[in-house]
């Protein structure tokens, strides 16, 4: 769904309060989101934890089978805890199955990423992140890839099929600090502002990113800038905030984060606050309702997005 030069994607229901995953909600949600014209269907990553959440690549593969036109995006994969050879295969297969609809959001993660659980060192995280992306690109683009790096070394390795998109699916970087934003401007195909960042933080980060793009001699108009927005539409503001806080408490163990980073309230208030995000530089909004997802899917499409 696009209004002018602003496109809007929607988060797939992925996290559930009850350990019994409601597949029926997902199955109804996906074709309806496509029918309403949302730009893309998006997932996020959390592999371990006591909050039930589906694995992102698996869920997008399910979405690929039930839809034909929306992009399928990850926001974002923590590639530092994944084997890049296996991940390259997973993503190339998904891009083929979706006929070239994949957008690969990637991130380095923060200090709380439990690398040791995945058998990965906590040292040299940034270098491992960059080199892992180089491994994936080589396997995606070269008939026989050779890598002689600090972390991965191999010769004449073939991987088929390649992704449907050429040279490979776009890589949108998740980043917050200056170092990460500079890396995104240098190496990425787009940038995704975190849902856990406030609108004010996003505005400052977007300004920094544009400066780094200019330094890298890249056109900011050709570089997608996205923001995940946790949102709740409800004329009863107190109820909306309470439900957001309940969800954030379960999902992130931090109810206060909801009040700091989310947008909630009636239609007019949500439109105004989303407009602030757009004016800060977002050209893509990843809308993420966290309860009553199908109701939000309809209301956002009919009463909010057309008025941005």
Task: Write out pLDDT tens, residues 78-101.
Answer: 999 999 999 999 999 999 999 999
Question: Using an 8 Å Cβ cutoff, are 124 and 189 in contact?
Answer: no
Per-residue pLDDT averaged across 188-214, rounded?
97
Identify the residue with better confidence: 50 or 85.
85
Q: What is the pLDDT of residue 248?
A: 95
CA–CA dist 302, 286 (Å, integer): 16
Of 21-30, 64-73, 108-117, 160-169, the range with the lowest mean pLDDT is 108-117
CA–CA dist 55, 142 (Å, integer): 28
pLDDT at residue 169 is higher than 90: yes
Q: How confident is the model at residue 2 (pLDDT cuts 50, 70, 90)?
A: low
Output the six-digit token pair for 85. Answer: 């050879």
DSSP states of 124-147: THHHHHHHHHHHHHHHHH-SSEEE
Chain centroid to CA 136: 18
69 SS3 class: coil
Question: Using an 8 Å Cβ cutoff, are 132 and 79 in contact?
Answer: yes
Q: For Cα atoms 43, 115, 84, give the angle at the middle one, nearest 5 degrees.
A: 60
Tally DSSP H helices, then E strands, for the chain.
Answer: 10, 12
In the block, tokens 């050429």 appear at 166
232 SS3 class: strand
CA–CA dist 257, 120 (Å, integer): 29
Tally the C-alpha atoms within 13 A of residue 229's C-alpha that lie toward its C-beta.
Answer: 28
Task: Kindly state the greatest CA–CA separation across the chain.
Answer: 61
Tell me the residue ranges of DSSP E strands in 85-199.
102-107, 145-148, 153-157, 171-174, 190-193
Q: What is the pLDDT of residue 3?
A: 59
pLDDT at residue 305 is higher than 80: yes
Question: Using an 8 Å Cβ cutoff, are 263 and 231 in contact?
Answer: yes
**pLDDT tens readout for residues 179-199:** 999 999 999 999 999 999 999
Question: Using an 8 Å Cβ cutoff, are 118 and 86 in contact?
Answer: no
Q: What is the pLDDT of residue 112?
A: 76
Per-residue pLDDT averaged across 134-148, rounded?
98
CA–CA dist 101, 70 (Å, integer): 7
- Residue spans of the domains in the chain: they are 1-20+29-46+226-308
CA–CA dist 251, 288 (Å, integer): 13
DSSP label of 122: S
**pLDDT tens readout for residues 229-268:** 999 999 999 999 999 999 999 999 999 999 999 999 999 9
Q: How confident is the model at residue 4 (pLDDT cuts 50, 70, 90)?
A: low
Cα end-to-end distance, the chain, whole Å: 12
Question: Using an 8 Å Cβ cutoff, are 128 and 183 in contact?
Answer: no
């Amino acid at each position: 769904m696009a209004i002018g030069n602003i496109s809007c994607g929607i988060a797939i229901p992925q996290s559930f309060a009850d350990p019994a995953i409601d597949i029926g909600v997902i199955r109804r949600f996906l074709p309806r989101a496509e029918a309403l014209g949302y730009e893309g269907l998006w997932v996020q990553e959390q592999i371990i934890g006591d909050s039930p959440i589906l694995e992102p690549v698996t869920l997008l593969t399910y979405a690929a089978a039930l839809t034909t036109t929306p992009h399928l995006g990850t926001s974002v994969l923590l590639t530092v805890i994944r084997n890049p050879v296996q991940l390259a295969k997973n993503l190339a297969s998904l891009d083929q199955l979706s006929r070239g609809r994949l957008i690969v959001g990637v991130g380095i993660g923060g200090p709380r990423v439990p690398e040791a659980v995945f058998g990965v060192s906590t040292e040299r995280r940034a270098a491992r992140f960059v080199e892992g992306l180089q491994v994936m690109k080589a396997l995606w683009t070269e008939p026989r890839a050779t890598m002689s790096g600090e972390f991965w070394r191999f010769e004449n390795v073939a991987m088929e099929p390649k992704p449907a998109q050429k040279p490979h699916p776009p890589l949108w970087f998740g980043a917050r600090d200056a170092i990460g934003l500079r890396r995104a401007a240098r190496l990425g195909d787009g940038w995704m502002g975190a849902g856990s960042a406030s609108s004010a933080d996003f505005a400052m980060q977007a300004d920094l990113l544009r400066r780094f793009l200019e330094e890298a001699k890249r056109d900011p108009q050709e570089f997608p800038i996205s923001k995940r927005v946790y949102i709740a539409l409800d004329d009863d503001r107190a109820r909306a905030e309470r439900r957001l806080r309940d969800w954030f408490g379960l999902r992130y163990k931090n109810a206060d984060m909801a009040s700091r980073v989310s947008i909630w309230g009636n239609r007019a208030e949500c439109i105004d606050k989303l407009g602030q995000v757009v004016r800060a530089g977002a050209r893509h909004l990843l809308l993420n309702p966290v309860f009553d997802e199908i109701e939000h899917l309809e209301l956002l499409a009919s009463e909010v997005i057309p008025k941005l």
